[in-house]
Amino acid sequence: MRNIEAFPLSSRILHWGMAVMILAMLFIGVFIASTVGSGYHRLVALHRSLGIAILVLAVLRLGNRLRTPSPPLPADLPPVMKVGAHASHILLYTLMIVLPLVGWGMLSAGGYPIPIWGQSVLLPPILPHNPMLWAWLRSLHTVLAFLLFGLVLAHIAAALFHGLIRRDGVLRSML
């Protein structure tokens, strides 16, 4: 029952690398939406580049997740928690991919050039220039980011719940 296997090394590297990136991204995002200070332009540029990096990694990670089997959840985990665990993971993967796409799409609709990694690469627009669409996607970007932050918090709390309260090896499987 408690013989939970660990995730493969590739999964753990992707998980922790992206954990740092996504948390950084959420904090930078909420900061640049409110600041008028000296770091604004550089942080917006970083936000764009990091967002595209997360998109690429999230797609790789989804492939990795579908290819390599994940350790099963403890058999004695209440069904509600099992459903919660599965649903929240589906949502996390969805947002990791959708949120950067909404960001890319909103800048396209806003008619902005989309340079990443300095000025070296210009991403092509993925949506037509349309100010109403830009405003709508800009709002959606905020709502989805708050949702992702909430999910990350729930994910952390759940991991600590497994590690400190249930002590069932689930947290260990990702360390």
Strand locations in 60-126, DSSP E?
114-116, 121-123
Q: Which residues pair with 121 in a beta bridge?
A: 116
Contact (Cβ atoms closer than 8 angstroms) between residue 103 and residue 112: no
Query: Does 147 participate in binding other proteins (rule CB under 8 A)?
Result: no
Query: Does 132 participate in binding other proteins (rule CB under 8 A)?
Result: yes
Q: Name the segment binding other proteins (CB under 8 A); options: 47-55, 76-84, 91-99, 147-155.
A: 147-155
Query: Does 68 participate in binding other proteins (rule CB under 8 A)?
Result: no
Q: Which is nearer to other proteins, 59 or 125 (CB)?
A: 125
Query: Does 84 participate in binding other proteins (rule CB under 8 A)?
Result: no
Contact (Cβ atoms closer than 8 angstroms) between residue 116 and residue 48: yes
Query: Does 15 participate in binding other proteins (rule CB under 8 A)?
Result: no
From 66, 129, 143, 147, residue interacting with other proteins (rule: CB under 8 A): 129
From 34, 76, 78, 79, residue interacting with other proteins (rule: CB under 8 A): 34
Distance, in Å, from the CA atom of 52 to the CA atom of 33, rounded to the nearest integer, reads 18
CA distances from 117 to 32, 42, 77, 121 (A): 18, 11, 44, 7
From 30, 91, 140, 151, residue interacting with other proteins (rule: CB under 8 A): 30
Closest separation between CB of residue 157 and other proteins, Å? 5
Query: For residue 72, how many C-alpha atoms fall within 13 Å in the half-sphere facing its CB?
Result: 7
Distance, in Å, from the CA atom of 111 to the CA atom of 128, rounded to the nearest integer, reads 8
From 37, 67, 76, 79, residue interacting with other proteins (rule: CB under 8 A): 37
Distance, in Å, from the CA atom of 116 to the CA atom of 45, rounded to the nearest integer, reads 7
Binding site for other proteins (CB under 8 A): 2-3, 5-6, 8-9, 23, 26-27, 30-41, 44, 110-113, 119-120, 122, 129-132, 134-136, 138-139, 149, 152-154, 156-157, 160-161, 164-169, 172
